[in-house]
Amino acid sequence: MDNTLAHRVRSEAKSVRRLAGSLENYLRRNLAFRRHPSELKPLFRFYASAFMSIRKYGLLSILDIDKKDELYARNLLKELYTVKRILQLLYDKMHAAVQAETLNTPYPILLYLNKLCSSIPAMKAQNVTVGFLTAQPMMYYHYPMEKVIALSDLLRLTIDGFPAFPTSLALVGYPYTESTNPLLNCALIHELGHFAWAKLPISAQVGKTISSLSVAGIPFGNLLLQRHISSSGQAACADEVFQVIVIGGLRAWTPTRLPTRVRN
């Protein structure tokens, strides 16, 4: 193997180590000075442990690199580059979680959503907890984490000690400026509904019925939904229609006075 390739591998490994170290410092610094809802703890634990294991991986991956063949070294270089991109992807969600400190989030609604989850047997069985993230664009999000979970499963094969993603955490994002919106509870329950749709066997039970109704245009045949069907497909549209119904149903149950909790 030529020296240039070995040198490139070493410098990429160094860069991965340094980046993981910086992200870990950023996380720890913010956790020390900000107060976050306890629901996000599993997520922060995941990040801290992920960065630590990646730092170690950056060091261990290049041991004996001179003794390896060229194809191995070339693929290690690719892997290190990919891990660096994955760090970027992890940072994206971590930053949104770090910003969602207790003072910036509608904390009583978060308590209410968690109470709601624990009152639904299927969600209680999966220990589902809800966490808020702040979203940069002016949109509400449910963050589907399936691909990140699949990615972290692969990382566990690659990197020693890489943690499993907390799959029972429903991550809901909302624009920072909307935290005082009186209709926030509806929108957040709508987003939580997407998580329930993905996690619980709802789509198998009602998906086809909703799809057939929305295709026939009765009673959901408005222009917005037709546009949604053409751009995202019928299954995604059934999910969206279901969430609209969920908002209506759950809004009726929402107490006028939201629960509060005194924090130490």
Site for another protein in 88-147 (CB under 8 A): 88-89, 91-92, 95, 135-144, 146-147
DSSP 229-253: HHHH-HHHHHHHHHHHHHHHHHHHH
> How far apart (Å, rounded) are the C-alpha atoms in residues 25 and 22?
5
Residue with smaller CB distance to another protein, 107 or 162 = 162
Among 81, 118, 248, 260, binds another protein (CB under 8 A): 81
- CA terminus-to-terminus distance, the chain: 59
The one among 63, 125, 157, 223 contacting another protein by CB under 8 A: 157
User: Is residue 110 within 8 Å of residue 43, measured between CB atoms?
Assistant: no
Q: Count of CB atoms within 10 A of residue 13's CB?
A: 23
Q: Which of 164, 183, 216, 245 binds another protein (CB under 8 A)?
A: 183
Residue among 60 and 118 whose Cβ is closer to another protein: 60
User: Regarding beta strands 141-142 and 129-135, do their DSSP bridges make them parallel or antiparallel, or are they unpaired?
Assistant: unpaired
- Hey, what amino acid is at 56? K
Site string for another protein, 7-46 (x = CB under 8 A): ----------------------------------------
**Based on CB atoms, which residue is closest to another protein, 39 or 79?**
79
Asked whether position 164 contacts another protein by CB under 8 A, the answer is: no
Nearest-approach distance from CB 29 to another protein, in angstroms: 16
Minimum Å distance from CB 173 to another protein?
A: 8
| Site residues (vs another protein, CB under 8 A) | 68-69, 71-72, 74-76, 78-79, 81-83, 85-86, 88-89, 91-92, 95, 135-144, 146-151, 153-155, 157-158, 175, 178, 181, 183, 186-187, 190-191, 194, 224, 231-232, 236, 240, 243
